[in-house]
């Protein structure tokens, strides 16, 4: 592929990506290049949620290339996901009018509870359809869908795995890999993170730190609804890939959520 960079740059593909990410090297200078990234990246850069955008250009083949500053750093560890930095960045992201405006402008998708239920049932195996606990969970979800107005939907990352958080050598935290971005109830993001990384007994404390106030009963109800929804989607994902040990671990988590709480 012709990147049309100035002479002296060496282009190296990044292992583990799908052929869209590269490191460009010129002596001691390095930049991160991504192919066909959404224009939404510019807004993320302005909000300092991703590493700084340096340039964007169109190639003769019609591809769009974006270059970002290369930062030495590492992914967050699982135990670091409860940190104040994480909750502050999420609050800033969910509250950004600029991000919401830009995502709407570039045609970002909106996901409602109905959409997520449809996503779960689409192509669902008969074994999972007939599983007693999963059936009970979906029945509760259908009967208690959150009623948050779409005007209150915000930009949600959609995949808050600890590996998608980049902590630079200078201590700056970024959130990367935005392929799953959507407009949705912020509780979708929050429940995804909390289910995987925050002990159940600490949920209210974590949400209070995120929102700068104690969560309302409605917020807690939405959190638990999306927690169950996310677990169902992960269970389906692991089943389809034959990751049955991981699937069973998430079924145990699901049982803990729906049996010990009265929110759904």
Q: Which residues are catalytic?
A: 159
Gap between the terminal Cα atoms of the chain: 51
Q: What is the number of alpha carbons within 13 Å of residue 195 lying toward its C-beta?
A: 32
The sign of the torsion formed by the CA atoms of 206, 207, 209, 215 equals negative
- Beta bridge partner(s), residue 167: 74, 173
Rg (CA), the chain: 20
Which secondary-structure segment (H or E) carries 32?
A: strand 29-35
Q: Max Cα separation, the chain?
A: 64
Cα separation, 189 vs 158, in Å, equals 6
Q: Could you tell me which residues come within 8 angstroms of residue 154 by beta carbon, excluding any fewer than 6 positions away? A: 93, 94, 95, 96, 100, 183, 184, 185, 186
Q: Are 77 and 70 in contact (CB under 8 A)?
A: no
Q: What is the DSSP string of 118-158?
A: HHHHTT--HHHHT-HHHHHHHHHHHHT-----GGG-EEE-S
For 216, list phi and psi in degrees, rounded to 5.
-75, 160
């Amino acid at each position: 592929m012709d990147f049309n960079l100035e002479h002296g740059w060496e282009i190296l593909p990044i292992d583990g990506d799908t052929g869209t990410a590269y490191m460009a090297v010129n002596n001691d200078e390095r930049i991160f290049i991504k192919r066909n990234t959404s224009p939404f990246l510019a807004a993320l850069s302005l909000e300092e949620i991703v590493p700084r955008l340096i340039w964007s250009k169109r190639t003769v083949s019609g591809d769009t290339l974006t270059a970002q500053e290369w930062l030495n750093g590492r992914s967050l560890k699982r135990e670091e996901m409860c940190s104040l930095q994480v909750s502050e960045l999420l609050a800033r992201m969910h509250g950004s009018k600029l991000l919401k405006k830009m995502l709407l402008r570039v045609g970002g998708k909106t996901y409602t509870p109905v959409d997520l239920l449809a996503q779960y049932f689409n192509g669902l195996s008969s074994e999972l359809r007939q599983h007693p606990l999963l059936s009970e969970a979906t029945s509760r979800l259908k009967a208690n869908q959150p009623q948050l107005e779409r005007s209150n939907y915000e930009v949600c990352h959609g995949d808050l795995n600890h590996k998608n958080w980049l902590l630079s050598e200078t201590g700056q935290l970024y959130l990367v890999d935005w392929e799953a971005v959507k407009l949705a109830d912020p509780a979708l993001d929050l429940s995804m993170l909390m289910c995987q990384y925050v002990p159940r007994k600490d949920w209210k404390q974590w949400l209070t730190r995120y929102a700068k106030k104690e969560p309302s009963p409605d917020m807690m109800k939405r959190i638990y609804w999306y927690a169950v929804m996310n677990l169902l989607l992960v269970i389906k994902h692991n089943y389809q890939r034959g990751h049955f040990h991981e699937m069973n671990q998430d079924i145990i988590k699901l049982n803990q959520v729906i049996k010990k709480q009265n929110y759904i």
